[in-house]
Structure 1
Amino acid sequence: MNKLLSFLKYVLLMSVSAFLMWYALKELDFQKMWAEFQNADYGWLMVSVVMGLLAYLSRAMRWQMQIKPTGHNPPLRNTYNAMMVGYVANLVFPRMGEVARCTMLRRTDNLPLNTGFGTVIAERIIDMLMLLLVVGLTFMVEFGRIRNFFLDLFSNKYATLEQSISSLYWVFWVMLISVVVVLIVGLRYLSLLRKNSLFRKAVQFVRGMLQGIFSVTKLENQFAFWGHTLFVWLMYYGMSLTVFYALPATAGLGWGAALSVLLVGTLGMAAPVQGGIGVYHLLVQSTLLLYGVPKEAGMAYALLAHTSQTLLVVVMGVISFMASMLRGAKPVEAEHSHTSTQAHELKR
């Protein structure tokens, strides 16, 4: 039954991506778009791919730094391989990559799954902060265009949202009251819960996850960690900018336009569909229209940027998966010892 539900969910998400791609392409002149590809300077596209490689390597180094304070020290090749396998998994099924990358490091370095999840959660929080910084910069530099873009995007949904706001308030209060009730009951019967093996396992899992989340506060070199974070996002920005130069229609766009594309492109890639397919293309094409770029050229840009980076992820992810499988799994004694230590701390 679970396999059937997973399959149906996968088909549904693929259908959404296919519909959005059809919607983005249905009114385009394919001869004009093909002319854009023929006149493209693919050297700039290769520069973008190299920036992508550097960004992934830097992310792997940053993740390795996060893991080290938890008592585990996987080599860079293992963190890189696990991360790239996770990115490939996200292309197959959204959000499966977080599970895949943590499972890979558990296999190669005995990193507990809960601790691995904790470090990934911390990574996502940091990326959210960086995205908010990009939002602020973009609105400062390109306020007029971006404001109009988002107003047009959400204006049709505003009436429905306004009608549903009272329902959202009710949902909020019901959830808040439920959480309070659960906390009160949990504190009241805490002594009994501590005797329950499932509760002890849950507490142990949460502790390991929190250890991963707060590993950022125990880094040996905070400067290097945040330097990697800044470098990664500068590479993302550079990837958006360099692809501009690959097409005649976008070659004259400036750094402000690249900020706008980075913002909406990141939002598109975060959509719960495989690899942001369809959502990314539609958002980027709509954004470039604000800068006077024709629809065909805007879609050509979106296809070049998205396809090149997707192929990079697939190629490097497959190589990383094969390298990890050939290297074999690490014996599990270390993880058992770590679990026993956590259980002893819980009893105390």
Structure 2
Amino acid sequence: MEESGAYPKSDKVLTSLLLGYLVNSFTPKFGEIIRCTSLQKTTKVPVAVSMGSVMAERAYDMLILGLGIFAVFCFEMDRLQGIFESTIGGISHIYGYRYLYVIPIAVLALFILFLISLRRIKKSERRPIKKIVEFLQSMFLSLKQGLLLKKRFQFILLTLLIWTMLVVLNYIYLLCLPETSGYPFSFAIVILFIGGIGWALPSPGGIGTTHFLLLQLFLAFQLDPNAGISFGILSNGLTFIGTIVIGGYGYFRYRVETKTLKKQ
């Protein structure tokens, strides 16, 4: 966010972040919007600026997740190919094979239409439309500046630390269950990136999507499926409870901060 010239206080950013986590636990990623709107109320940082910063943050998250998935597939292609086939097969069984080709074509067509419409919209003199255009321009400028990264070394170091801690956390979950306590540390890495697909999908707290992928992962490695279900319930359940606790604390902080601003 500093790349866009906004310097909100760290405690205010933390409050909005925790509040966003809380909302994400019950909604499909709507917490990102709440995170930006709550930050605007407590720091006056425009929503467009914080939204662009969040988009840059998520872009780097997806990049790391994608690289991790690619690396895992390179080492475990024979086993993990079954997950891809079963996932695609399940979707095609529900919606039909033809939709697998229609959806990406439709998305591409909508994107092209959006670009064409945007050029025309920019020339409009209507006030509501001009406001929307200004918002989008500010958001994409913030996104572009956020991707440049002023503090590259610090960002890379903290990113590596975060993902390393996530691997360690998954390994601790494996050690907690008698059925998985003997699994190697490398399996925790596989769990992180394959299970991370479920977290990246627009589902409340990764519930359902993560459990499905973890079950498929355990089956692909010819492990006890019940252990996969238990691991999913343990890891996702503890994460959900932890998010509710810290998110509730974030909501309390937000209420206090907004009341303080009203008195000023």
Q: Shorter-chain TM-score: which interval?
A: 0.7 to 0.9
Within 5 Å, give how 1:1-348 maps onto structure 2: 67-155=1-89, 157=91, 162-164=97-99, 167-168=102-103, 171=106, 175=110, 178-179=113-114, 181-182=116-117, 185-186=120-121, 190=123, 193=124, 195-217=125-147, 219-328=149-258
Deviations 1:93-136 (A, max 9, x none): 21210111112211211111111111111111111101111111
Q: Structure 1's 290 and 180: CA in aligned 2 closer, same or farther, altered over 3 A?
A: closer
Amino acid at match of 1:101: R
Deviations 1:226-285 (A, max 9, x none): 222222222222222221111122122223322221123111223333212222222212
Q: Distance in 1 between matches of 2:253 and 2:112?
A: 50
If the length of structure 1 is used for normalisation, what is the TM-score?
0.67
Q: Which runs of 5+ in 1 are unaligned?
A: 1-66, 333-348
Q: Cα deviations across residues 184-212 of structure 1 (Å, max 9, x unaligned)?
A: 6457xx3xx2x332233123212221232
TM (norm. structure 2) is 0.86
Instruction: Work out whether residues 72 and 111 of structure 1, in 8 Å CA contact, stay in contact via their aligned partners in 2.
Output: yes
- Is the alpha carbon distance of 1:287 and 1:319 closer, same or farther for their aligned partners in structure 2, counting shifts above 3 Å? same
Number of aligned positions between the proteins: 261
DSSP 3-state at the match of 2:40: helix
Identity %: 24
* Structure 1: distance between partners of 2:227 and 2:108: 48
Does the aligned pair in 2 maintain the 1:243–1:305 contact within 8 Å? yes
Structure 2 unaligned blocks of 5 or more: none
> Bigger radius of gyration, 1 or 2?
1
- What is the rounded CA distance, in whole Å, between the counterparts of 1:291 and 1:167 in structure 2? 33
Aligned CA-pair RMSD:
2.7
Q: How many angstroms apart in 2 are the aligned matches of 1:253 and 1:72?
A: 46
Q: State the alpha-carbon separation in 1 of the partners of residues 108 and 220 from structure 2.
A: 41
Change over 3 Å in CA distance of 1:295–1:179 after alignment to 2: closer
Name the structure 2 match of 1:341.
none
